Every structure is written in C-alpha cells, then in structure tokens.
Amino acid sequence: MKSLYLVRAAGALALMTSLSGIAYAQAWVPGSEIVGQPVTVTTNGVSNTVYLDPGGSARIMTPGGNTVAGTWSAANGQLCLSTGAAQECFPYASPFQAGQPLTLTSSCGSSATWLASATNTALPQGQRGERGR
C-alpha cells in the first residue's frame, strides 16, 4: 500500500512540475518583452535602433536619422522584420534580457548583434493576459 502511495505522489509531483513549465511557456508571448523598447541591432558595424510596436508595426531608426517603417512577427522560433524591400528572420526561442547582447544569424545569412536596452516586465499597455486581465 505504501508503494502505491509513493507512486501516486511521484506522479502528482511530476504532473505539477510539467504543468508549471507549461504555464510559464504560455505566459511568455514572443516579442512582448521588447515591444516599445529600443533595441540596437548591429550588422557589419552599422547600428540601427529597432522598435517593435504593438500590433505588428516596426520602426527602424538609421544612424543618419532616417526612419524606415516595417512590420514584425514572432512565431515558430523566429523573429521576422519586414520592410517594403525585404524580410529577414532571426532565431528567437527565449526572451531578450536587458543589457545582454545576443548575436544571431538571420535567414539571409547575416550575423547581427541585438541589444535590448530595457525590457518590459509586464504586458505592454493595451495588451491583456491569458484571461483578459
């Protein structure tokens, strides 16, 4: 009887552990940690400041002060930026961390270093959580 109890307790513990991991994975919405925050993206020595805005629009600020409008999406482990001229996707499996550079190779074969100066700790304004809260 004791061994049956231990097996059930171990099973319950494994289930609770896996469910908490699932809840964490569902809590993170790719891109939400940097929406509205400046992200410096450096490619071939040129640094642009990228803003991922709510609703999928993006702004790319060039070193010369020009703004290039675009769109962004995050799905299937990819963060994609699109302008009228091109689309480039980068591997994206976990949230960006403020102040920690991350070098990624794009779908075009370009290496770029992404540096988020700040990240959101809560959902960006206008977005709601899982249950509409």
Q: pTM of the prediction?
A: 0.70
Six-digit token pair at 41? 């993206």
Residues 6+ apart with CB under 8 A from 129: 123
Instruction: Kindly state the average pLDDT of the residues 52-71.
Output: 96
Q: What is the pLDDT of residues 77-119, one digit of tens each?
A: 999 999 988 999 999 989 999 999 999 999 999 999 999 999 9
- pLDDT tens, residue by residue, 30-44: 999 999 999 999 999
Domain boundaries along the sequence of the chain:
1-29, 38-116
Q: Which position has the higher pLDDT, 122 or 54?
A: 54
Average pLDDT over residues 57-75: 96
